[in-house]
Structure formats: C-alpha cells, structure tokens
Amino acid sequence: MGGDRHDVDLSPHVSDEIRKTTCYMCACRCGINVHLRTGENGQPKIRYIEGNRDHPINKGVLCAKGSAGIMQHYSPARLKKPLLRTGERGRGEFKEIEWEEALSLATDWLGEVRERDPRKLAFFTGRDQSQSLTGWWAQQFGTPNFAAHGGFCSVNMAAGGIYTFGGAFWEFGAPDWDKTELFMIFGVAEDHDSNPIKMGLGKLKARGVKVVGINPVRTGYNAIADEWVGITPGTDGLFILSLVHELVRAGKVDVDYLLRYTNAPWLVIDDEGRADHGLFARNDDGEALVYDRQAKACASYKQVGTSAALKGEVTLPDGRKARPAFERLAEKYCADDYAPDAVSERTGVPAAQIRRLAAEIAEAAFDKEIVVDQPWTDMKGERHERMIGRPVSFHAMRGISAHSNGFQTCRALHLLQILVGSIDCPGGFRFKPPYPRPIDGQPKPHGGSKPSEPLPGPHLGFLRGPEELLLQDDGVTPQRIDKAFSWDAPMSSHGLMHMVISNAHAGDPYPVDVLFMYMANMSWNSSMNSGGVMKMLEAKDDDGNYKIPKIIYSDSYESEMVAYADLVLPDTTYLERHDCISLLDRPISEPEALADSLRWPVVDPATQGEGRDVRGFQSVLLDLGGRLNLPGMVDGDGKHLYKDYADYMVNHQRRPGVGPLAGWRGKDGEKNGRGEPNSDQIQRYIDNGGFFEAHVPEEAQYFKHANKAWTDWAIEMGLQDGPVENVFQLYLEPLRKFQLAAEGHGDRQPPDTHRERIKRCFDPLPIWYPPFEGEGLDEEEFPFHALTQRPAAMYHSWGSQNAWLRQIHGSNPLYVPGAICDQAGLEDGDWAWVTSHHGKIKVPVRRMEAVNGKTMWTWNAIGKRPGAWNLDNDAPEARKGFLLNHLIHELLPPKSDGLRWSNSDPITGQAAWFDLRVKIEKAPPEDHPVSQPQFEPQKDNLKKPADSLAYGHEWEIKT
Amino acid sequence: MTSLPASTDKALGLVIDLDTCVGCHACVVNCKEWNTGGYGAPLGDIDPYGAEPVGAWLNRIHTFEVSPDDAPASIVHFPKSCLHCSDAPCVTVCPTGASYKRSDDGIVLVDESMCIGCGLCAWACPYGAREMDPVENVMKKCTLCVDRIYNDNIPEEDRVPACVRTCPAGARHFGDFSDPQSDVSQLVAERGGFDLMPEMGTAPVNKYLPPRPKTKPDSGAERRIEPEAAKADGFLGWLDQALEKLG
C-alpha cells in the first residue's frame, strides 16, 4: 500500500471572516487575527487566533497564551450575571441579580460615601491597562485612594528609570536589537514585552551577539543566554556597582556623553551639617551651576559653550564650597567596597567573572562604537553630523526590583547604562514614544479630598521632596489608605496596593466604607500573606459588621476574590469588549514608531454562552460615573455624556484635541495625534487592523532626550505641549532632600522612628544595602532564599482555568538546589515543609542544579483555592499547587523598635516579594500528600464544565 | 504492513534551533489550536477542568537539565514533534495502511478513516511523537500543517506550519531538505544540524541545531580592563586628560 491513494484536501476552508483586534492574554498586547467560523449552534465561533503580521508589537508571531485565547474566551469560569452575596464572605454564596439592581446598589453605596467623605472609597485596579480612565474616574469621584497594581509589581523599575533618565524598560523602551553588540538581561522570567523580547533574542542569536543572563534561576531566557550569572537574590545592586567600579577606575566612561546629557558636572554643595549640604548649587533662577574650566567661573548648566569641570572643589560666589557630582560619584565607586573581590562572596559571582564582564561591556561600548550618518540637532541648538552609538544594552525586570533595595538597584543599572553612554544611542537602550518623559514632564501626586468634589489633580506622580508628600495636617499621618507618598514610602509613584486591605482592616490611617476593585485577585495570589488577607476580608467588629463594610469587585472569571465580594460586576472576555491601548496610558509603541490600538467586540457576548449577561467594566464605570453625577461624565442636566467606553474612546478629550486614541482624529480623520474627535475613528482603526502607527522621523530616532527633531515631533503629535528638559539625574537631589529632613532640616520632619532608615537608604547616588527581611531575622535560622517566576506560558495571564495551559503548568513543585536536597535528605518527589519568619507551607520537591545554590523557587500563581475558577475541588492546582505568598508577610519581622514596617522598599513602597528567607525540612511520607495550607472550597456558582473537550469537531476535515 | 515510497520529490521538514528556543510553548499551543479544528478529528482533552486533565498534542516541549563536570548546570528546551522520517517505522508497522508517507513531499500522515486505533505506530516510533486522541481514540500526529502549506485560502506567506509562523524567537524553520540550497539545508550545514537518535535508523527529515557553547564563569579569568588610567592620581587624574581631549 503506497501513500498516494489517500485523498487529502490541501486547500480546506479556514474561516468565514478574520477580525483583527488586540490580544489581552497578558500585558504584551499583540495584534491578533481572530478567525471566525459558524459553530454548530449557528453562531459565530472562534476557529483560530494567530498573530497579525502588520502589527508593530508582534509582527505576526504569537505566544502560548495568545494561542490559548480560545480556551480563555470559552472558559467555564466565565461569570455570566451580576451577583449579590447571600452567605458569609469568603464562602462564595450568591444570588444572581439584574444589572439595574446591581448598578443602583453600587450607586447608593458610592454616592453616600462621596457626599460624606470620599476618602472612604478605596478604588484599586489590578492588571488592567485602562488606568487613564480608572484614574480619571477616581479623581472625579474625589477619593485620594486610587492606584493600580504597580506598587506590588515593579514600581522600582518604573520610578528608578523615570527619576534617573525619564524612561524605563517594559513597554517604555527596548534594546536596539538590530545594532547592539552585547546584551545583558537582569531578573527577567518574562515581561510585558513578552513577544518583542523573544523576537529580539532571536535577532541577537541570528547575529551571534552575546547574551548574558543575570538571574538566580537558569530557565527561559537565561537558559539560552551565552553566559549565566547565577546571582544570589537581592545582590544585583552590588554586582552592578562592582561593574561600575571596574569601568570608572579604568576610565571606561563616555565623558562627552556625561557632560552633554547628565548632571555629572552639576556642583553639589559641601556644607556639612547645614540645610544645603548635598544639594545642587543654583543661581537666582534656580538653575544648577557648573564650573566652566575656560572662564574659570561658575555658570548655569544651561549656558551654551561652557567647558564644565567634572572634578575639583569650587568656591561659589557666596563663599560656600561645592564639587561636581561626578567627583563624588567617582570617589564612591572607586572605593574598595565595590571591588569585585569585596562583593564576590555576597553576590555569589566570582571576582574574575565580574572583571571580565566589565571588560566585555567596555569593549562593546568603546571598541565597537557605531557611527550612523544621520545629522541631528540637539536641544542646545548644536548640529551633529552623525549619531555615535555605544552598542551595549540592558534589560531588567522584577528580579532586581521586587526587593527592599530595588529602587537603588534599578538606579544602579541606569547609572551603568549612562556611564557608558548607551541610553538612546545606536546599539543601546531606546526610548519608545511617548517616552522619554522625565520628572519635568510627569504630574505630581495629588491628595486632598472634599465631599462631593473632584480631586485637584491625578493621584499618582513623581514628587520632588518632602514638601510634596501627601500628609494630613499633623505632617505625619498619611492621607492615603495605602500610605503612599508618606514617610513610609515617599516616592511611591504607583501606590501600595499590597497594603490596602491590611490598612483598611486595621483602620490605619482610617477605615474605609467601600472597597472597589477590578481584576485583582487580592484574596489569593496578588497579596502577600494570602490567608491573613482572607481573614481580614472576613473580619467583623464587635457589632458583627464587617470591618471593611462593602466590597464591590469586577472580574471576568470566578476567581478567588469573587468569593469575598458583596457585589460582583461580571466583565466580558477580551474578545467581547472595547478597550483602548492609549498613549495616555501604557501604549504599544516601538522605538521607531508611535503606536496605539484598540479592542472591539469581535463577537457579541450574548452569542458566546448560555445566559451570558455581562458588560465591559469600563462601560460600567462610566455608567456609574453618570449615575453619581461625576464631573466630566454628565452634562449640565445630569445626562450621561458617554453611552459606553467606545463613545468615551472617541469623544473624550483629556486636553483640547488630545484623546484616548491618537489616530484618525479630526472631523474627517485627516489628523494624527492632535485633532477634534472623529465619529468614524473606531472604524478607521478596525479597517487598519486594530492599531495606529506613526513613524518617528529619521532625525529623531536616537538621542530623544536631547533631540530637537524629536521634541518638535512629540509636540506635533500631542505627546507633550512644549519642550521638556531631560538631564539624566545620576545624582538624584530629591533623595538628598529626604535625607536632609531626616537629619533635622526643614519644616516637614519625619517621625523619629524613620530618621535612620531614610538617612541610610535615600542616598542620592545609587547604593546597595542588604534586603530588609534578611536583616530582620537570624540568617542562620533562615539560610535560604525562595522566590517565584511566572512561566512564559502564563505570564501576566488570567489563570489556569485555561484547559490547554493547565495541561502545561497544572501544578508547581518547589525546585530545590541539589546541595540543599542532599543536606535535607530530599529526593525528587518528596514533600517538604518550608518555613519563613511568618508561615509554613508543605510542598512537593523537585531537585535542580541550574540555580543559585542558596535559592529555591517555584512557578507563581499556579496554586488555586479549591472550588475557584470552576475547577474540580481535586484539581492539581488545589491539591498539589501552592503559593509562596503564604510565607511572605506584608510586614517585616518585628524589630527592637517595636514597629512593624511594611515589607516594601523604603523609597517607593514596592512590595519586596523576593526578600523572602526560608528554611526547609523533609515532610514525613504520607499516602496521598496534599500541599498545605488547604482552604475550604469556595462555592461554585457556575455550571459544571464538560468531562471532555473536542474543540472544533464541527469543522473536522475528514481524511 | 504498509510500504514507504522509494523516494519522495521533496523532503519537507523542520529545523529546530536549540540555541534559540526559550521553551515558551508558543509552538505547542498554536499547533493545538490550528489542528483541533482542521485535519482529522479534533485534538481532544479529557477531564479538562478536573483532577487529571489529559489531552492530545502534536508537539510538546521537554525540558532537560544538563550538568557537566566542568561548567554550571544548564537547561535545554527540546521541542518534539513527528520528524517525518525517511525510513519511518510507524508507517511500515501499520496493519491497515492508515499511516503513510506522501511521495510528493515526504510528509507522514494518518488517514484517520482507516485507523483502527491499535496504537502499533506509537509503539514503533522511537521518539514518542504520536499520541492517541483520548476522546476519539484515533492516532494523531504532526501533519506539518498539510492543510496550511498548500492552502489557497490563506496568504502565501502564511503557508508554513502554524508552529513556525507563531514562534516568537524564530527558533523554528520550515523547508525542503532535498534541496541543498534551501534555507533549512543551509542552516543545517552552517550550524552543524544533527539527526535525533540516528542510531535508530529512521533517517529523520527534521533536524536540530545544537546549543552554542556557553561562556563559563571562570573562562578568561585574567581578562580585565587594561587600566590606561593607572596613574598616581588614579581616575581623577585620567579625567583631566579626557577633558583636555574634549576641549
């Protein structure tokens, strides 16, 4: 029997229609082609989802999550109708109600709070990316208590970058994949830029460019790195500053770059013990001074044609002494504290490896200099005939930032980038529009709150000193429920979502009446101390009332958090909704193009499941805003201004001519960036594949921080309204202002309890200090580090109820280094008790060698509460899966000072997930071991899913 | 017994680059979603939301840890699907003629209308590349997306296997190995592409590119930046010269 008798249809029908929208299986937001085909019930059904080849982000590729979108969209865990709690909190007992009843109830609860005391609403959103709407809504409501999940995610990375050079990694910048000659990636399991990083690594591999992975765990990107630095968690800052030590000592810094683009020459006042010590010397206009070596006099740093000094003591016109910031910097990092031999043991990185890597950085930056023949003009008016590139690039994420020393570590990495001149040059790190956006282009945080009035400005921002803290009249008590912008975490630009429930439960600084959350699984994997948080949400006062009286929650799925809500507002899936991926928020630009995009309902929810009566959360929020008469959401007669989110996306203007979507503005869609609303705008996006893209002019491609052509274009496109100065802040003066306050200077004084840590941690030059949790306990008792990563197939994604993805990652062993296994008598398949200062968990063990010898790890957010997500109570996620969260407390171990400090970075409040210290011991063998702790199953309100799936059987091509 | 063609006009297959694969599973899942609504029976899943979910997949990623004596341990992600062998034992073992190798392009397929679900082919395959569908009890395997690569209903540039089109890192390549000038043949020649378990005598068409050698922590231990600035007054002394050069 040969092969040729078989009849195969080589050209079968694929789909009836392709609709192009934006993926939302994670934060990467790729363009997708959704193939629709008639299903057996006669309704449109999703046949296939592939990447959109024209899309600026993914250029046709699509990851595992995106490809599993079908299972997410048809998940049996989808909520289908508003729910009102009938049983006790946490049990999951609800009755279905109609939308009108749900919205009336929410309006009553919220309206009462707004009239009496808007602070009593805490509105926090999770992984959504509609913060420009949700933040504006909260501002119009008038509560100071709003943030998204940045505080427990990676605010150190964002704030460290923006304070230092007006940019950040993530979707705000990227390596110059096509030109770089050395790439170093720190602490990245996955990132928002999920597919672009993989595509970029593929490009580097194709060109044979060396990739160095710095990560305690050698999986994923680190597995293919040409060199692995298996660093000890929490010591990246020390490693980076040791590289800086090597580079500075040998003069491998780009002096011209430092003089042109940084505050290296700015004069820092030496006035020990006085209120100006360590601040910049300034002229009467407040401009920082430099010392002009030619004129032998001080001059404003803005003056053109000076030859600024980088060293040497200067006597200021008023007689005070000052020195260039760079001299302080050089002294600090040339010191032996940062020598490779001094940091090797602590970091776990051999000194010779540090020295060689520093040499490789220097070689890439200076011996492989790139020259691009593209003339450009800088912001001082100087014409440059070409663009000089230092082709070494870096990327980093939560691994370096989710520590109590993360802000300084992120700053240290940016310091390294800047010293070798590799920010926004050919081959280096590149800004993505609308970035750069330095502090001068960022809002300040706004607080204050009055009944029935909006907040005076946006909640989140970047403050410049103690005078901008959000404190109550006593100058000490925080204004915000999460204590952001207070002495606890002064520069907490993304808020501290991980402290909201804990503080609200404790009534510290005050209780709240309504907790309103969106897409944030706070009773489970999004909180530290998950079990404790569950108890806080259940806790009642002496009168039998819940301490957090009312909880409104919106989610698409029956997550663990749903069980703790009093009122549940069911959201749509990502294929049933309008959304904008806006330049006002977190856009999808690439370095060479400004871009934004939208989602639109490629299918109607009513056709996508029995009894499905769900609404997009953003439309619901605007409806609530109208019912509450919030300014900007109703007209003079109280009529709602926006029918739904789509209407808002088209017609809302944040500034005249600037709205959520940048493309096809103007009456006839002829304007981009700025222009009046265009009623046809959404259709124009859809016709273009769901996105808009405008290419950055050639002259503006690099040096955007100082490039006139970039500034002109950014203003034209509505990214900014005028030039915004961006001098890279190697020496960060706002930190010094906090230190001065801690030293007793100024009107705004921290509590005495805070002085020492502010003096120690708020160094205006990047430093390293040991992570707090390790410092607060006996390191011999808890000798090991434990941390988590999200698997690539689930990063930033919505859970393992996905039938396909849960077959890939359905349970999560604890990966334990071989040496620790041997010491503890552990073998593959054993179970172990892992203990921290706070808790104890029982977990299955897997031996691993490709990991830092002091570090054990697991996949995050695989473990589930029984009954949640419409999974079987015996699902492996519930019985074998586990969360490390139970070991991590939101507070640090008690110290002798009697205070319980937040387990956060003292500067930004970033949750210090990866500071965790543990010990491990073998658990006695059992017949059917399950992970511990276990929780009572939450009651499931949804139809039990089918016992088997044969997705797409109606389209089978017979063979 | 089923016979193999004496030769095939083309030898279509994949090159998988183990130096580039990050193990993200994009290929695995995209393969499943394309093929569950296409060639033959859907790729079923039993107990999809229960205690023991099990489904049929045409492509899986295995992760191995390698622990050499003289270097730190490392991880290799190893995607595996049917290798469309020239000497495919899964074909010759088939009692009904359901398993066959196409003479046009060498793709190994299962004619599901003839498959009795006996599972002999899966036993014969040394790579474990075939999976019995748990719902339909019919043998499933990689078709090299035979319903894509010649399909007039999809754009020409997309007429490649779903796993290749979707791979974010570009670690998967598709082409004709019978043509020494094809991209895949060239890649194999340049990068030392190898056969999986050649000792089994299956002559697989698919090839793997090996991971490139890694830098060890102690390699180049003497290398450091030559301190051109090694002057009596150290870095700050060097700085004077650097500033002089800038003027």
Tell me the CATH number at A861.
2.40.40.20
Q: Which of residues 234-293 of A touch B (CB under 8 A)?
A: 246-252, 255-256, 259, 293
- Angle made by CA atoms A872, A873, A876, in degrees to the nearest 5: 80
Residue B187: give the domain boundaries: 12-209
In a domain, residue A714? The reply is no
Whichever domain contains A202, its CATH number is: 3.40.228.10
What is the number of structural domains in chain A? Answer: 3
Nearest to A146 by CA among A470, A416, A372: A470
Structural domain span for residue A883:
772-922
Same domain, yes or no: A208 and A314: yes
Phi-psi domain of A818 (left: phi exceeds 0; alpha: psi -120 through 50; beta: other):
alpha
Cα B26 to the center of its chain, rounded Å: 12
Cα-based distances in Å from A174 to A56, A774, A858 = 13, 33, 28
Count how many residues are written for chain A.
Answer: 959
- Residue A859 located in a structural domain: yes
CA dihedral A135, A138, A139, A140 (to 10 degrees): 120
pLDDT, tens digit, for every residue of A801-811? Answer: 899 999 999 99
**Burial state string for A396-405 with b = 16 or more CB within 10 A and e = fewer than 16:** bbbbbbbbbb
* pLDDT-based confidence at residue A528 (cuts at 50, 70, 90): very high
Specify if B232 maps to a domain: no
| pLDDT at residue B240, as a whole number | 83
Average of per-residue pLDDT across A533-544: 97
Report how many domains make up chain B: 1
CA distance linking residue A437 with residue A442, whole number of Å: 7
B100/A6 Cβ within 8 A? yes
Interface contact flag, B20 A224, Cβ < 8 Å: yes
**Alpha carbon distance A737, A907 (integer Å):** 13
Same domain, A348 and A373: yes
Residue whose pair of structure tokens reads 């600026």 in the numeric block? A56
At A775, the pLDDT band (50, 70, 90 cuts) reads confident
Q: Are residues A791 and A875 in the same domain?
A: yes
Per-residue CA distances from A839 to A115, A450, A451, A929 (Å): 42, 41, 42, 19
Pair (A331, A376) in one structural domain? yes
Measured in residues, chain B has a length of: 247
Does the beta-carbon distance from A356 to B224 stay under 8 Å? yes
* Inter-chain touch B37–A47, beta carbons under 8 Å: yes
Cα angle: A331, vertex A335, A338; to 5 degrees: 125
Q: Please tell me the distance from the alpha carbon of residue B120 to that of residue B55, in angstroms, as a whole number.
A: 19
Do A748 and A847 reside in the same domain of the chain?
no
Same domain, A221 and A353: yes
Mean per-residue pLDDT, A614-623: 98
Query: Would residue A349 count as lying in a domain?
Result: yes
Evaluate whether A596 touches A663 at the Cβ level (below 8 Å). Answer: yes
Question: Within the 779-818 window of chain A, which residues sit less than 8 Å (CB to CB) from chain B?
Answer: 792-793, 801, 803-808, 810
- CA pseudo-torsion sign B217, B219, B222, B224: negative
Strand partners, A270: A321
Per-residue confidence (pLDDT) for residue A1, from 0 to 100: 42
- Residue A899 has a pLDDT of 77
Residue A305, domain member (yes or no): yes
Please say whether the dihedral angle defined by the alpha carbons of residues A776, A779, A781 and A786, taken in this order, is positive or negative: positive
Q: Report which residue type is found at A315.
A: T
Residue A348: left (phi > 0), alpha (psi -120 to 50), or beta?
Answer: left
- Range A938-959 average pLDDT: 94
Cα–Cα dist A248/A246, whole Å: 6
- Residue A706, chain B, CB below 8 Å: the answer is no
Asked whether residue A877 is domain-assigned, the answer is yes
What was the pLDDT predicted at B230? 53
- High-pLDDT (> 70) share of chain A, %: 99
Residues of chain B with pLDDT under 50: none
Residue A198 lies in a domain: yes
Residue finishing a domain among A405, A434, A463: A434
Identify residue B129 by its one-letter amino acid code. Answer: A
Q: Which of A380, A373, A376 is nearest to A305 (CA)?
A: A380
Instruction: Based on the fold, state whether residues A192 and A266 are members of the same structural domain.
Output: yes
ipTM of the complex: 0.97
**A contact test, residue of B36, B133, B157 with most A CBs within 10 A:** B36
Residue B133 lies in a domain: yes
Of the residues A377, A400, A434, the one at which a domain ends: A434
Question: Running DSSP on this structure, what letter comes out for residue A338?
Answer: G
Q: Is residue A434 reached through a cis peptide bond, with omega within 30 degrees of 0 on the bond before it?
A: yes
Any CB–CB contact under 8 A between A309 and chain B? Answer: yes
Residue B166 lies in a domain: yes
Which two structure tokens, joined as six digits, stand for A268? Answer: 């820092």
Q: Do A314 and A185 lie in a common domain?
A: yes
Count of C-beta atoms within a 10 Å radius of residue A210 = 17
Q: Give the pLDDT mean for A120-138.
A: 93
Q: Which residue has the higher pLDDT, A227 or A775?
A: A227
- Nearest CA to A7 out of B159, B130, B112, B82 is that of B112
Q: What's the whole-model pTM score? A: 0.97
Secondary structure (H, E, C), A258-278: HHHHECCCCEEEECCCCCCCC
**Is A326 among the domain residues?**
yes
pLDDT attached to residue B57: 98
For residues A827 and A754, membership in a common domain is answered with: no
Residues A851 and A913 both lie in one domain: yes
Q: Residues A57-75: pLDDT tens digits?
A: 999 999 999 999 999 999 9
Each residue's pLDDT tens digit, A680-733:
999 999 999 999 999 999 999 999 999 999 999 999 999 999 999 999 999 999
Mean pLDDT calculated for residue range A843-868: 97
The CATH number covering residue B71 comes to 3.30.70.20
The tens digit of pLDDT for each residue in A632-661 reads 999 999 999 999 999 999 999 999 999 999
Beta-strand runs (E) in chain B = 12-17, 45-46, 54-55, 59-66, 74-81, 99-101, 108-110, 131-132, 139-140, 172-176, 207-209
Which of A48, A63, A849 minimises the CB distance to B65?
Answer: A849
Is residue B247 included in any domain, yes or no? no
> A4 and B25: CB-CB below 8 Å?
no
pLDDT in tens, A551-605: 999 999 999 999 999 999 999 999 999 999 999 998 999 999 999 999 999 999 9
Distance CA A702, CA A257 (A): 13
Query: Which residue in the block uniquely carries the two structure tokens 């282009």?
Result: A441
Question: In this structure, are A257 and A396 located in the same domain?
Answer: yes
Domain boundary among the residues A384, A415, A434 is at A434
In a domain, A312, yes or no: yes
Residues A758 and A780 grouped into a single domain: no
Contact B17 A949 (CB under 8 A): no
Report the pLDDT averaged over residues A248-270. Answer: 97
C-alpha dihedral (A195, A197, A200, A204), degrees to nearest 10: -140
State the pLDDT confidence band at A2, using cuts at 50, 70 and 90: very low
The pLDDT value given to residue A423: 98
In a domain? residue B239: no
In a domain, B4, yes or no: no
CB contact under 8 A, B25 and A64: yes
The whole-number average pLDDT for the span A137-161 is 95
First to last CA, chain A: 16
CB atoms near residue B192 (< 10 Å): 12
CB contact (8 A) between residue B37 and residue A53: no
Best mutation site among B84, B166, B218, B228 for testing chain A: the one with the most A CBs within 10 Å? B166
Burial class (CB in 10 A: 0-12, 13-18, 19+), A924: exposed
The residue of A356, A800, A930 whose CB has the most chain B CBs within 10 angstroms, and thus the best one to mutate to test that interface, is A356
The residue among A555, A593, A619 whose CA lies nearest residue A697 is A593
Strand B74-81 and strand A376-377: pairing? unpaired
B6 in a structural domain = no
Q: Is residue B229 part of a domain?
A: no
Burial class (CB in 10 A: 0-12, 13-18, 19+), A2: middle
Going by C-alpha positions, the residue among A78, A95, A80 that lies closest to residue A566 is: A95
Residue B202 pLDDT: 98
- Token readout for A316 is 């200021």
